[in-house]
Structure 1
C-alpha cells in the first residue's frame, strides 16, 4: 500500500500515518525506514536535508518494478 501511494505522488510520514491509521513513529521505524534504507524501494524527496520541513517519500524505480511484478499497475 505504501509503495503504491508513494508511486502516485509524494507523501510525508504524517500524511501516510493518517491515511493508514498508524502512529507516525511506528510507521517510520517499522515500514518507511526499512523500505528506504534496506530495500531501496522508497526515497526521500529532499535527500540532502533529512529534516526538511517538506520531506516526503517517493517510490523508486526499483519500487515501481516490484509493484509491476506483483501485477499492480500505476
Structure 2
C-alpha cells in the first residue's frame, strides 16, 4: 500500500478504529495524529483505511469542539 498525502484522514483498525491524519513515515509504520489533537501514534499500514465521509465529519467536529474549549490551536 502506498503512503497517502500528509493530512489524509485515516482509520486505524489495529488501534480501536482511531481516526487520525497521516503525518509521515517512521520505518515500516505510518504516523497518525488524532484530528482533535494529541500525540502521534504508529500504525501498521495493513490496518489502516481511508475514513468515510461520515468519519471525517465526526473527526473534524471533534477537532472544532476541542478548539472551542481551548484544547488545540
Q: What TM-score results when the alignment is normalised by the length of structure 2?
A: 0.27
| Bigger helix share | 1
Higher strand share: 2
